[in-house]
Amino acid sequence: MSSELSPIDKAKFAAAKRAAALVESGMRAGLGTGSTAAWLGRCPGERVRNDGLKIKAVPTSTATAELARSEGIEVIALDEAKWLDLTIDGADEFDGHLNLIKGGGGALLQEKIVATASDQMVVIADVGKKVETLGAFPLPIEVIPFGLQTTQKLVEEALVSMDVLGRETSLRMDGATPFATDEGNRIIDLHLKRIGDARQLALTLNQMPGVVENGLFIDICDRVIIGFGDGKVEVRDIDSGTVENSQVDFAEESNLFADLAD
């Protein structure tokens, strides 16, 4: 039941429910990875099963692909889709210009490729992800395993000239071994605390040999859908400059909540 969900889970569900309403039959849609992935799969999946929604989804990770298939959503590769109508994903942080930090789930490379191959990117998030300035959440960068320590050292040296408050870096671990992305790469998390010039930092990082991609999504997100624990939903559109508010009724979603409790 909805009472068994935390306020954050309710907020994520409310945002995902609103985002799912943007998906129409015939669309090719990108589906994101991370803590929002369960809602991203469940909400469109419910429409596939109950309303006959027909979509083709491009997942941004192996985990998301498995979830989508389990919900009855047809999964295809990006090369098959070629271009997407929209991508729905989460974010670890977003600012007032809808610039993002992503990669907490370790899928930032696929997420950025899919998002930039879409007519629009829609981010769903709880209100706690809104920040004045990016950087409180550690910025992930994906790097190749070869020369890993050398790349990490070069990144640390480059941060000295960047407008950031912190310069500590750490290799992301999965238990006793380094975390591996779906492409077999590694993740280095940059603990910057505050990023003064996100665009300059993104360009600098991607010019470094060994760095595959960084988790700064600049000028990629078109809309952010913010969920609140009471079911309120706020939609911010960067292109139109509009802010719309609506409400999700948790009582009408008892089937989805019951599934989560099983």
pLDDT of residue 262 exceeding 70: no
pLDDT of residue 246 exceeding 60: yes
Strand 216-217's sheet: what is its strand order? 93-94, 100-101, 216-217
Read off the pLDDT of residues 130-188 as tens digits, 9 standing for 90 and up.
999 999 999 999 999 999 999 999 999 999 999 999 999 999 999 999 999 999 999 99
192 φψ region: left (φ > 0), alpha (ψ -120 to 50), beta (else): alpha
The answer to whether 142 touches 213, Cβ cutoff 8 Å, is yes
Residues taking part in catalysis: 111
CA 46, 52, 53, 56 torsion: positive or negative? positive
pLDDT of residue 37: 63
Q: Residue 1: which pLDDT band, with cuts at 50, 70 and 90?
A: very low
Spatial distance between the Cα atoms of 217 and 206, rounded to a whole number of angstroms: 12
Q: Which of 103, 72, 256 is nearest to 188 (CA)?
A: 103
In the block, residue with structure tokens 């409790």: 261
Q: Residue 4: which pLDDT band, with cuts at 50, 70 and 90?
A: confident
> Is there a shared CATH topology between the 2-130+219-261 domain and the 139-215 domain?
no
In the block, residue with structure tokens 């870096």: 169
Domain boundaries, the chain: 2-130+219-261, 139-215
Q: Among 22-31, 35-44, 117-126, where is mean pLDDT lowest?
A: 35-44
pLDDT of residue 259 exceeding 70: no
Q: Is 60 helix (H, G, I), strand (E, B) or coil?
A: coil
Average confidence (pLDDT) over 237-257: 79
Write out the H or E segment, with its range, that includes residue 31: strand 28-31
Read off the pLDDT of residues 32-85 as tens digits, 9 standing for 90 and up.
987 766 677 778 878 888 888 899 999 999 999 999 999 899 999 999 999 999
pLDDT of residue 204: 98
- What's the CATH class of domain 139-215? alpha beta
Is CATH 3.40.50.2300 the classification given to domain 2-130+219-261? no
Spatial distance between the Cα atoms of 168 and 173, rounded to a whole number of angstroms: 16
Rounded to two decimals, what is the model's pTM?
0.92
Cβ neighbour number for residue 147 with a 10 Å cutoff: 13
